[in-house]
Amino acid sequence: MQSPQAFTLAAHGAHMPAIGYGTMELPKRGPELVAYAIKSGYRLIDTARKYGTEEKVGEGIRLSGIARKDLWVTTKVTELDAREADFLRSAETSLKALGLDYVDLLLVHWPQPNVPFAETLGALAKAKRGGLTRHIGVSNFTIAMLDEAVKVCPEPLITNQIEYHAYLPQDRMLAALKRHGMILTAYCPMARGKLLGDPVVGEIARAHGKTIGQVCLRWLIQQPMVAAVPRPLEEAHIEEDLDVFDFSLSEDEMRRMSALRSRRVRIANPPERAPTWDVETVG
């Protein structure tokens, strides 16, 4: 396996790993899983205040024995803390929970329509300028929200972390992010397991001697400026999800995978906070 550390995406001075370890709903042995992921080669660890896993992530980082400077840690501020004072307090609380002096990436977790974006994005920029984070971005923003965020934020945004997989088109969002020089960070990269039984993906996986999950991840990161954060909860799957850098999908295989987007399966759509999503075409 080629070293995954060699595969990073560059945006506005940031060099972010192409594959990260997602930590939503970590089990009790979460710290050991985080440490195992880091020892296996993951360098991006993704958490959030809302997940309630920051303490486990911090413990896992310490257990791993890997130097802090060699890791990329992402966390997020909930939409309930969109006001400036609450936002900065949340960021500081996250650092205490993680046991870190800074994170590498701080995201607005979900858009908050009841607070002006200028205030929330201004607080995000303050967190960066105050040394709480090295880079900043957003999550679950629509194209219009992304455009406004870029316009009002005093510091460059490097990513929009959104749901993206072979059952959900994001062509227009990808074009918007390209326009802004940003990365699409894909969560639910296997559609929460729905893709694992797909016959098309299964056929491609057999042709490469890979698992369906590995093909799903390869399809994502083979696209320009796309990163992925799978959420494996077993040691074997942790290693498997990182072993995607020693093969490539052909143009035909990429097209066949992309054609599956006509299914339009959306997993993360919480009614209490999800925006009205963009209508995406299937190219």
Identify whether the C-beta of residue 104 lies closer than 8 Å to the C-beta of residue 73.
Answer: yes
Which distant-in-sequence residues (6+ apart) come within 8 Å of 128 by Cβ? 106, 134, 135, 136, 155
Distance of CA 26 to the CA centre of its chain: 16
Based on the residue annotation, tell me whether 51 is a catalytic residue of this protein. Answer: yes
Q: 254 exposed, middle or buried (CB, 10 Å; 0-12, 13-18, 19+)?
A: middle
Q: CA-to-CA distance for 55 and 96, rounded, in angstroms?
A: 9
Rounded to a whole number, what is the distance in angstroms from the first to the last CA of the chain? 32
Q: CA-to-CA distance for 80 and 240, rounded, in angstroms?
A: 36
Closest CA to 46 of 159, 131, 146: 159
Q: What DSSP state is assigned to residue 241? A: H
Structure tokens at 157: 């945004």
Q: Which of 21, 36, 42, 51 is catalytic?
A: 51
Catalytic residues, which ones? Answer: 51
